[in-house]
């Protein structure tokens, strides 16, 4: 085709690059895509970003993984590795290149496993196997704790250490089973069944961390059903915090790690038991002290009632009455004496009025004969020596005529 | 109370759970019921013995680990690190 000066589009490089960028970045399919291929030209500069090219037989695609996503990578990628990369298509304008901005990478094949995981999950969910109503409570203080895990794994050691620290009172029954590989699912099912016959209070189903393939036995339909059918409540602690298996959903409780599973299986610890024991001890003592105090006070009440009715009290009361009478007698007597004394005073005054001495003080005299002491009231009687008594004394007198 | 007397085992024969359950009922009885003082004293003494028994068991507790082999459980020897 001949170029024509009258073409409708006439753009700068920047403008057309911007246009292409808008086209690609506005396509939702290209903004959320899995791309499968082989890694080449892998470069990990100090910036922390990762650059590589994804290739297959006929094409190649430049890829960038920014530092924030690169630090979350759980697999060690290298040249030649077949992977599935998830991300969005973007355009790097200075180079005029389109590229995949990768935010997560998984080994090839995981995508298919994940699809299977989703299919099984949907199916079992529809059956109600994961229903919340099915979940049983974990006992507060288990006596027998069953463990299904590998006999040689670090998970078992971690769980036993945790149980030993938190609740050494418990008995542990281990039902060993391989936890990965084709033999694992039937062995896990058998271990769960054998353990249930021992009637443990709770079962820990656990495995340490690993890749999604390593953990796959815990997504096996047979194992998931065995967990759901277990008589004893099951705590599932498989892999790490971020790993979810179907057993986690079927279990009565999901723990992020085996150690956490052991912790969740022992809600009450030795410490708690010791605390509640001292609590009981204190209640025991105080109830006894209260009891004794109650007895003492009812005894005291009886004693006071007894005192009230005792002969001692009657005797005291008689004494009191006696005292009262004697006090009244005394007071009556005193009164009488006072009256009498007043009476005597009156008589004494009258007597005083009759006293001849009073007449003497008015100028009279009493003359008595010395001879016989007779009062001389007539001249004929005046003989011999006599005494004249005046108000202030007496003197001798003789008749001389 | 009469019932518990007739079935009372020596505390040395009780498991932790049995001792704790009985202790709980002893404390409840002492706290809530009016009993003759002599009975209460006996209950109290029993309670003290139960506290001691529980304490001993807690002190001495060591995790027992068994391994299932077929139908029976045998002691499990942990490998030392």
- The domain segmentation of chain A, as residue ranges, is 13-108, 113-270, 357-398
Contact assignment for B65 to A160 by CB distance below 8 Å: yes
Long-range contacts of A159-162 (CB under 8 A, 24+ apart): A159/A204, A159/A206, A159/A237, A159/A258, A159/A259, A159/A261, A159/A262, A160/A262, A160/B63, A160/B65, A160/B78, A162/A259, A162/A262, A162/A263, A162/A266
Q: Give tens-digit pLDDT for A1-48.
A: 566 666 677 889 999 999 999 999 999 999 999 999 999 999 999 999
In three-state secondary structure terms, A267 is: coil
Residue A66: the pLDDT is 95
Q: Using 70 as the pLDDT threshold, list the residues of chain A that sit under it.
A: 1-7
Helix crossing, A270-309 with B16-32: angle to 10°?
30
Residues 6+ positions from A161 with CB-CB distance below 8 Å = none
Contacts of A193 in chain B (CB under 8 A): none
Residue B6: the pLDDT is 46
Task: Give the Cα separation of A107 and A100 in Å (integer).
Answer: 17
A303 φ/ψ angles, rounded to the nearest 5 degrees? -60, -40
Query: Do residues A51 and A43 lie in contact, with contact meaning Cβ atoms separated by under 8 Å?
Result: yes
Task: Give the Cα separation of A153 and A179 in Å (integer).
Answer: 9
User: Of A65, A78, A61, which Cα lies nearest the Cα of A24?
Assistant: A61
Distance from CA of A86 to the nearest CA of B (A): 41
Contacts of B62 in chain A (CB under 8 A): 164, 168
Residue B3: the pLDDT is 44
Instruction: Check if the interface score ipTM surpasses 0.95.
Output: no
Residue A295: the pLDDT is 84
Contact assignment for A174 to B48 by CB distance below 8 Å: no
What is the token pair recorded at B38? 């002599």
Given pLDDT bands bounded at 50, 70 and 90, which one contains residue B7? Answer: low
Residue A112: the pLDDT is 74
Residue A213: the pLDDT is 77
Interface of A with B (CB under 8 A): 141, 143, 151-152, 157, 160, 163-164, 167-176, 191, 194-195, 197-198, 270, 273-274, 277, 280-281, 283-284, 287-288, 291, 295
Q: Give tens-digit pLDDT for B13-47.
A: 998 888 988 999 998 888 887 778 888 888 889 99
- The domain segmentation of chain B, as residue ranges, is 2-75
Query: Do residues B67 and A165 lie in contact, with contact meaning Cβ atoms separated by under 8 Å?
Result: no
pLDDT at B2 over 60: no
Contact assignment for A270 to B17 by CB distance below 8 Å: no
Query: Class for domain A113-270, per CATH?
Result: alpha beta
Beta bridge partners of A236: A205, A254
Contact assignment for B30 to A291 by CB distance below 8 Å: yes
Contact assignment for A174 to B27 by CB distance below 8 Å: no
Distance from CA of B6 to the nearest CA of A (A): 22
Query: Do residues B49 and B41 lie in contact, with contact meaning Cβ atoms separated by under 8 Å?
Result: no
A310 φ/ψ angles, rounded to the nearest 5 degrees? -80, 155
Distance from CA of A150 to the nearest CA of B (A): 12
Task: Give the Cα separation of B64 and A13 in Å (integer).
Answer: 77
Query: Class for domain A13-108, per CATH?
Result: mainly beta
Distance from CA of B29 to the nearest CA of A (A): 10
- Average pLDDT along chain B: 82
pLDDT at B55 over 70: yes
Chain A residue with minimal CA distance to B51? Answer: A281
pLDDT at B81 over 60: no
- B23, B61, B78: residue with CB nearest A169: B61
Beta strands in A82-125 (DSSP E): 82-92, 97-107
Contacts of B48 in chain A (CB under 8 A): 284
Task: Give the Cα separation of A264 and A235 in Å (integer).
Answer: 8
- B62, B66, B73: residue with CB nearest A168: B62
Chain B residue with minimal CA distance to A191? Answer: B68
Q: Which of residues 12-51 of B touch A (CB under 8 A)?
A: 16-17, 20, 23-24, 26-27, 30-31, 37, 40-41, 44, 47-48, 51
């Amino acid at each position: 085709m001949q170029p024509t000066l009258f073409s409708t589009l006439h753009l700068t490089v920047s403008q057309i690059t911007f246009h292409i960028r808008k086209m690609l970045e506005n396509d939702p399919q290209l903004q959320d895509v899995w791309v499968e291929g082989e890694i080449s030209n892998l470069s990990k500069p100090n910036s922390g970003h990762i650059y590589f090219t994804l290739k297959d037989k006929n094409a190649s695609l430049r890829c960038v993984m920014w530092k924030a996503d690169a630090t979350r990578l759980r697999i060690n990628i290298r040249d030649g590795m077949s992977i599935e990369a998830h991300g969005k298509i973007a355009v790097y304008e200075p180079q005029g290149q389109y590229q995949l901005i990768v935010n997560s990478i998984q080994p090839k094949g995981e995508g298919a496993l994940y699809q299977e995981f989703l299919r099984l999950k949907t199916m079992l969910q529809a059956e109600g196997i994961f229903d919340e109503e099915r979940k049983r409570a974990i006992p507060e203080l288990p006596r027998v704790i069953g463990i299904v895990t590998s006999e040689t794994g670090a998970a078992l050691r971690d769980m036993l250490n945790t149980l030993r620290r938190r609740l050494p009172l418990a008995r542990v029954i281990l039902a060993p089973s391989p936890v990965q590989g084709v033999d694992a699912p039937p062995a896990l099912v058998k271990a769960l069944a054998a353990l249930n016959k021992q009637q443990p209070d709770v079962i820990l189903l656990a495995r340490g961390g690993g890749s999604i393939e390593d953990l796959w036995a815990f997504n096996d339909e047979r194992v998931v059903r065995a967990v759901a059918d277990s008589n004893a409540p099951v705590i599932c602690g498989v892999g790490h915090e971020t790993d979810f298996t179907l057993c986690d959903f079927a279990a009565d409780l999901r723990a992020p790690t085996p150690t956490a599973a052991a912790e969740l299986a022992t809600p009450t610890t030795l410490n708690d038991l010791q605390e509640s024991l001292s609590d009981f001890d204190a209640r025991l003592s105080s109830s006894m002290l209260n009891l004794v105090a109650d007895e003492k006070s009812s005894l005291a009440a009886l004693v006071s009632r007894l005192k009230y009715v005792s002969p001692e009290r009657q005797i005291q009361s008689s004494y009191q009455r006696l005292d009262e009478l004697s006090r009244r007698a005394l007071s009556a007597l005193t009164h009488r004496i006072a009256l009498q004394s007043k009476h005597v005073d009156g008589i004494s005054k009258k007597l005083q009025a009759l006293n001849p001495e009073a007449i003497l003080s008015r100028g009279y005299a009493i003359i008595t004969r010395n001879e016989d002491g007779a009062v001389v009231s007539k001249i004929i009687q005046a003989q011999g020596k006599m005494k004249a008594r005046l108000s202030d004394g007496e003197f001798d007198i003789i008749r001389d005529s | 109370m009469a019932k518990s007397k007739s079935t009372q085992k020596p505390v040395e024969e009780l498991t932790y759970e049995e001792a704790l359950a009985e202790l709980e009922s002893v404390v409840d009885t002492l706290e809530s019921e009016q009993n003759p003082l002599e009975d209460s004293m006996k209950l109290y003494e029993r309670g003290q013995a139960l506290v001691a028994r529980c304490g001993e068991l807690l002190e001495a507790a060591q995790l027992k680990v068994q391994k299932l082999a077929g139908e029976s459980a045998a002691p499990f020897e942990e490998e030392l690190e």
